[in-house]
Homo-oligomer: A and B are copies of this chain.
Amino acid sequence: MLKYILMQISSSVFNSAVEQLSSLPGIGRKTAHRLVLSLLNRDTDEIKTFGNTFVNLASEINYCSKCFTISEHSVCEICNSAQRNPNIICVVENVLDVVAIESTNQFKGKYHVLGGIISPMEGIGPNEIKINELIDRVEKENIEEIIMALSATMEGDATTYFIYKKIKDSEIKISTIARGIGIGDELEYTDELTLGKSITNRIPFESTLSV
């Protein structure tokens, strides 16, 4: 059915545009059709601007040379900031995670953006992401603690373990972010793995009072 629909619109530029949009995660062919049609309702110049934005993105995007977050300058604001503790590094998967953690206002150290996690299924090995660069930083910078803040998935755990094995012989403290029931969550709706972890990793009640 969908293939049939595609064949019906006999315009190669239209179909290329549909193909490109539907190559993005979460956008199906039908949605892509609608999006391209909505683009075509705009002025020619606006559509060109839309396209050129991504051409510029490709050539002008810049990453911080230290932590690999997206940055306007060669070293990002966080790495450059004297207000932040350079002895603690929080390791995250991507830039959105930096944004998420920053919005909590609970972390005042530096970051290291891996740019992905180890995933044999998707052909992403340790060398495809910025693990060697992290080891480099561990050797050269005066780091006291590394906080592993990856997703609580199999891939995330595997990546954390891989990095742990690489670093464990150094003097550096390695921690991971806490797993447990979310604030506002009800016990009966929490899955048993999470609930189990939250019991194993229970903390003294007094420590919650000081926050």
Binding site for B on A (CB under 8 A): 1, 4-5, 8-14, 16-17, 20, 23-27, 31, 33-41, 44-45, 47-62, 69-72, 76-77, 94-96, 98-100, 102-103, 115-116
Contact A13 B60 (CB under 8 A): yes
Knowing A102-B8, A103-B1 are in contact, say whether A94-B54 is a contact too (CB < 8 A): no
Q: When chains A and B are docked, how far (Å) is the Cα of A62 from the Cα of B12?
A: 10
Contact A61 B11 (CB under 8 A): yes
Rounded to whole Å, the gap between the CB of A107 and the closest CB of chain B is: 13
Most chain B CB atoms below 10 A, which of A1, A40, A76: A40
Q: Which residues from B are CB-within-8-Å of A69?
A: 9
Return 28 A-B CB contacts under 8 Å, by A number. Answer: A4-B103, A5-B99, A5-B100, A8-B102, A8-B103, A9-B70, A9-B95, A9-B99, A10-B76, A13-B57, A13-B60, A14-B70, A16-B53, A17-B57, A24-B35, A25-B38, A26-B35, A37-B94, A37-B96, A39-B57, A41-B116, A44-B58, A44-B59, A47-B57, A47-B58, A48-B58, A50-B58, A51-B51
Copies in the complex: 2
